[in-house]
Amino acid sequence: MKRCAAIVLTLIVITVYFCGCAPAKPSVKGDFSVTDSAGREVEVPSDPQSVCTLCPFSGPVIVMLGCGDKITSFTNNAARSRLLMQICPSLENAAVVKNSGSVNAEEIMAKNTDLIIMNSGVYENETELAKIDAMGIPYIVIGYETIEDQLKAVDILGKVFKNEKKAQEYISYFRSIIDRAEKDAVGTPKRLYHSVNEAVRTDYEGSYCAQWIALTGVENVSLQSGKLSIEGEKAYTTLEQIYVWNPDIIICNEAQVDDYILGDSKWQGLACVANKEVYQIPIGITRWGHPSSFETPLAILWLMKLLYPDTFKVDISSEVKTFYKTFFGFAITDEWLESIIEGAEMREPKTERGAA
């Protein structure tokens, strides 16, 4: 691996030196120091003009901070968000430089990038980090593996993009939702199964989704047994095991998985399926409550309302409209609201835009 990384780094340096493929960087105001999620003290431009985001979480945060027009390259996950494109139309001109594969270093340099935001996955990948180091562009690492990681990441980005007030407003809002959930999650817990992306992919102990779902006082069935197949950061179960768990309710974070479960004969023996207690988690800029989601506070409110309809008093429609107006200055129409709640056609197909 080290030999491969060295070769990649050398090739990039040679290309930059002889071919001049890295355009001159635009002038930016003086640097200042920030400590990132990896504990690195980094000198970053005080007024970055061309920003590359190599993780899906940071894009919406930067847009919230009023600097979306400075994003010139980003991930395919962000590019697929129809709502994000409506909120920040300049992103239509941003280049997709990372899908699920490698980082497109040449395109990053072509955009005169003066700051890169990456997650721990890129930072810990020796080959990808070698490419970035070879470009000589300052970068910061942000983590979002837990709720506290996310709040720290928002704080860091608030400092970098000179809008600590908005960052703290979001952090305070998130904490208020946590407090509200913990206070109002009363009564006999329902047994819940969470489908993540695929029908039989689910939560595991310590995962981000398991953390926010736990705030609602529900009994997450996939955490009760070691009968999960772990593949990296993904956990899979079987339909047979779901029958053993016999959940009271199923929530799905990927569009149309709820329809699949409700319509497939193999699932019909589950009481919750027969009772149509299978629900699509709303999708806005991101899939609410997904590990890279900025909208997890809304996911918590939505699930609380679903679990405690008689005692948890919240107007989800009003809460959603207030959230996007407060943090993005964007007015959610009734048509947008319906699409968000249903999770319908909120994300472009993966093949819609180019990727690295």
Mind giving me the DSSP string for 230-250?
EETTEEE--HHHHHHH--SEE
pLDDT computed for residue 8 by the predictor: 45
**Quick check: 326 pLDDT over 90?**
yes
pLDDT at 226 (0 to 100): 66
Instruction: Tell me what the pLDDT averaged over the chain comes to.
Output: 89
pTM (2 d.p.): 0.90
Whole-angstrom Cα distance, residue 353 to residue 333? 26
pLDDT at 4 over 70: no
Parent domain of 336:
173-342
354 lies in some domain: no
Q: Residue 343 and residue 284: Cα distance in Å, rounded?
A: 7
Interval 247-276: pLDDT, tens: 999 999 999 999 999 999 999 999 999 999
* Domain stop point among 110, 135, 162: 162
| Distance separating the N- and C-terminal Cα atoms of the chain | 21
HEC per residue, 257-278: HHHHHHHCHHHCCCHHHHCCCE
Q: Which of 136, 162, 188 is the last residue of a domain?
A: 162
- At residue 30, the pLDDT reads 65
Question: b/e string for 184-219 if b means 16 or more Cβ within 10 A?
Answer: bbeeeebebbbbbeebbbbbbeebbbbbbbbbbbbb
Q: Which of 53, 64, 63 is nearest to 103 (CA)?
A: 53
In a domain, 347, yes or no: no
- Looking at the domain assignment, is residue 355 inside a domain? no
- Amino acid identity of residue 110, one-letter, is A
- Residue 29 has a pLDDT of 55
203 belongs to a structural domain = yes
Q: State how far the Cα of 126 lies from the Cα of 113, in Å rounded to an integer.
A: 21
> Does one domain contain both 326 and 228?
yes
Pick from 132, 162, 192: which residue ends a domain?
A: 162
Q: Which amino acid is at 145?
A: E
pLDDT attached to residue 203: 95
Residue 64 lies in a domain: yes
- CATH label of the domain that carries residue 154: 3.40.50.1980
To the nearest whole percent, how much of the chain has pLDDT over 70? 89
Residue owning tokens 């197949």: 229
pLDDT of residue 5: 43
- Contact in structure between 317 and 301 (CB atoms under 8 Å): no
Would you say residue 199 lies in a domain?
yes
Query: pLDDT digit string (tens) for 212-244?
Result: 999 999 999 999 866 799 888 899 999 999 999
Amino acid identity for residue 301 in this structure: L
How many domains are there within the chain? 2
In angstroms, rounded to a whole number, what is the distance separating the alpha carbons of residues 168 and 174?
A: 10
Q: What is the mean pLDDT of residues 118-130?
A: 92
- Give me the pLDDT at residue 1, please: 46
- Identify whether residues 298 and 330 lie together within a single domain: yes
